[in-house]
Amino acid sequence: MSKSSGNVFRKLMNPFFVSTGDSESKLEELVAEERKSFSIETLISATRNFDQSLLLGEGGFGPVFKGRLRDGREIAVKRLSKRSTQGKKEFQSEAKSLTRLQHRNVVNLLGYCVHGGERLLVYEYVLNESLDKLLFKSNGGDLLDWKRRRDVIVGIAKGLLYLHDEAPVTVIHRDIKASNILLDDKWCPKIADFGMSRFFFGDETHVSTRIVGTYGYLAPEYFKNAHLSPKVDVYSFGVVVLELISGQKNSSFDRDPGFHNLLEWAHDLFLKHRSWEIVDPVLASSADRDEVEICVHVGLLCVQSDRDLRPAMRRVVDLLARKRSHVSSHLERPARPGYSDSGYWPKFPVSGSTSRSSESENQKTTQNSARSKRQHRGNGETEE
């Protein structure tokens, strides 16, 4: 609950208030709790009983429907697949963590619903399509001019900084990619789809864990050794940055037959001081050379093979805010992107991939169950 709504609540309750801070926060918590939980009847009515005509998208964790609440608010309701065996408590605790996240670059989870076997998540509705649909579509580039793309880069960076460092719980998203970035009516990017995220309540943010994510966006150390840290998101962010600049999908790169992927190609051009050639041809008239150079440089720093060399999101946000003259001469040269020495995708053998129907063959979300003893959770996921 925000401070101001807390105060309104306090005023209403004033005659009954026992003054200690503790009881005040308990009451606030109770009220907040109420707001987060939606009844199934509300969601059935909002989505006209999950009418197929209101389907926004469908992926590995279930369909997403557009809906309208009685107060007029538009929502997106994610109906989690019934195959999921995630317990009620576990689901509620994850959903509650998500409702505590509040940032302009993170999609707002309004609440959730548990009813019998049903598990539903209720988000604010985000008007424009997900980034991939615009970026990789033939005429999408026209809508995304350089200013919008740069704003998207900066917005995602700020959203990730919040998730890693500033949110009430530390969140590693684990599936940062163009299709999980939604754009609102003002083209402001919102990080979405926390189905793969890990929440950390203490300081521990370096762990070994089950591997989930999407080909083309997976950090090599995570793919190879299951080492999870915020640098996994930094890597995926770097891939998205280079995709935004070039209009090319890393997993189906075809601009230059001499290179296997976008990262290798971009790195090569950077070293030859030809970063400008990475730019999507449709941006030729709108792009600012200095800004492009900084973004390419930052993108390449983020995808470096050695995770210790990758900048943290705070530094990324800081670098993106600077003028080129203050950046390029002082900035370290990016080492090789994380690919060949680790047997980088696409040659990597993967087992246990899920088939999320919204993903192309090359971009399937992967859950590598090859390592150590992991149990199936029953929803296609594997866990240590």
Ligand X SMILES: Nc1ncnc2c1ncn2[C@@H]1O[C@H](COP(=O)(O)OP(=O)(O)O)[C@@H](O)[C@H]1O
Instruction: Provide the binding-site residues for ligand X, judged by CB under 6 A.
Output: 56-57, 59-61, 64, 76, 78, 107, 123, 125-126, 130, 179-180, 182, 192-193, 195, 358
Query: What is the nearest approach in angstroms of Mg ion to the Cβ of residue 296?
Result: 26
Binding partner at 199 among Mg ion, ligand X, none, C-beta below 5 to 8 Å by kind: none
How many CB atoms are located within 10 Å of the residue 219 CB?
Answer: 28
Please, how many CA atoms are within 13 Å of residue 255, restricted to the half-sphere of its CB?
20
Q: Which lies closer to ligand X via its Cβ, residue 212 or residue 269?
A: 212
Residue 180 is a binding residue for Mg ion (CB under 5 A): yes
**Paired sense of beta strands 207-208 and 198-200, if any:** unpaired
| Contact with Mg ion (CB under 5 A) among 94, 193, 243, 280 | 193
Question: Which residues in the 58-97 window bind Mg ion by CB under 5 A?
Answer: 59
Q: Which lies closer to ligand X via its Cβ, residue 102 or residue 225?
A: 102
Q: Which lies closer to ligand X via its Cβ, residue 56 or residue 114?
A: 56
Query: What is the nearest approach in angstroms of ligand X to the Cβ of residue 180?
Result: 5
Catalytic residue among 175, 193, 233, 280: 175
Contact segment (CB under 5 A) with Mg ion among 30-38, 82-90, 172-180, 261-269 equals: 172-180
Query: What is the nearest approach in angstroms of Mg ion to the Cβ of residue 157?
Result: 20
Binding partner at 126 among Mg ion, ligand X, none, C-beta below 5 to 8 Å by kind: ligand X
Binding partner at 65 among ligand X, Mg ion, none, C-beta below 5 to 8 Å by kind: none
Q: What angle do CA 199, 59, 119 make, to 5 degrees?
A: 60
Binding partner at 217 among ligand X, Mg ion, none, C-beta below 5 to 8 Å by kind: none
Binding partner at 302 among Mg ion, ligand X, none, C-beta below 5 to 8 Å by kind: none
Q: Which lies closer to ligand X via its Cβ, residue 64 or residue 176?
A: 64
Nearest to 173 by CA among 149, 153, 200: 200
Q: Which lies closer to Mg ion via its Cβ, residue 23 or residue 355?
A: 355
Q: Which lies closer to ligand X via its Cβ, residue 193 or residue 243?
A: 193
Query: What is the nearest approach in angstroms of ligand X to the Cβ of residue 190?
Result: 8
**175 catalytic, yes or no?**
yes
Binding partner at 169 among Mg ion, ligand X, none, C-beta below 5 to 8 Å by kind: none
Query: What is the nearest approach in angstroms of Mg ion to the Cβ of residue 195?
Result: 7
Query: What is the nearest approach in angstroms of ligand X to the Cβ of residue 99?
Result: 14
Contact segment (CB under 5 A) with Mg ion among 3-11, 96-104, 192-200, 204-212 equals: 192-200
Tell me the catalytic residues. 175
Q: Which spans of this chain sit near Mg ion (rule: CB under 5 A)?
A: 59, 180, 193
